[in-house]
Amino acid sequence: MKSYQVVPARRRLDVANERLRGAIVDLGLTLDEVAQRLGVASKTVERWINEPERKPYRRFQFATASLLKCEVSYLWPDERTSAEVAAAGNAELVRLYPHRSVVMQTLWTNLYSKATRQFDLLVYSGFWLTEDATFHRIVKEKSADGVPIRFILGEPTSQAVAVRGEDEGIGAAMAGKIRNALINYGPLFGLPGVEFRLHGTTLYNSIYRADDEMLANGHLYGVGAYMAPVLHLRRVPGGELFDAYAESVEKVWESARPISSPADWEGTT
């Protein structure tokens, strides 16, 4: 009688992520090709396969799933489906305004008046807000209450500001608006907990954050930000939209240049 050797069943994804490996093979891709398209190292993709406990960040999970034409929850079964993530994102959206000019001015001041631990403003100039006396008062009150306040404005001499000025059709006036904004903010320099930095990044949104709520004003080519849409977002458990915008604020903050007075814009970038 012929005998058969029993082959132990392959352990689940705690040994290796065979679903991820198989999806790559099915498309005829190599690890190097996947890594190149995702903008990571080949060793990183290899670890995602052989060390499944070291899962990629969510943005790489979605990028990988899109590349391999799979659901995130198929490649990483303990993750949520795209539909679930989308549903959470919809829950984060409080309201969409077609352009900033239809948003009541009090929305910004009401937003910041509730800040207790996070008060961020990321813009190129945000000049319109510098002329709001109520906003100035709120900044001073929050400073007195010990709330950390971060102003991140565009570096007037940076290439990014010059390009944005051309995109809006106002040229060098964009840099001028930033300098005027800094002058208007002059009384806020030196207040406890208030920090100013200048950035030279390409800014796709002006972001106004207070704790777990924010307003994201998009930038559109050829028009000023006042004509672009505004997303009113509020963080909810399981949502990722708010955190994606918040993460971009942190990245710009880390690369921005601290200044101690309105005149510091004349420093080097």
> What are the tens digits of pLDDT across the range 1-28?
444 343 343 444 457 888 888 889 988 9
pLDDT for the residue 1:
45
- Cβ neighbours around 195 below 10 Å, total: 16
CB 206 within 8 A of CB 122: yes
Picking from 10, 82, 20, 7, the residue whose alpha carbon sits closest to that of residue 52 is 20
Instruction: Give 244-252's long-range contacts (Cβ < 8 A, gap of 24+).
Output: 244/59, 245/205, 245/207, 245/209, 245/214, 245/216, 246/209, 246/214, 248/122, 248/205, 248/207, 249/120, 249/122, 249/152, 249/207, 249/209, 252/122, 252/152, 252/199, 252/201, 252/203
Mean pLDDT for the stretch of residues 109-113:
96
pLDDT tens profile 151-161: 999 999 999 99
Mean pLDDT for the stretch of residues 154-169:
93
pLDDT for the residue 3:
41
CB 180 within 8 A of CB 223: no
Indicate whether this model's pTM tops 0.75.
Answer: no
Share of residues in the chain with pLDDT > 90 (%): 53
- The Cα 228–Cα 215 span in angstroms is 12
pLDDT tens profile 182-239: 999 999 999 999 999 999 999 999 999 999 999 999 998 988 888 899 999 998 877 7
pLDDT above 50: residue 254:
yes
Mean pLDDT for the stretch of residues 33-46:
90
pLDDT for the residue 158:
95
Mean pLDDT for the stretch of residues 120-137:
96
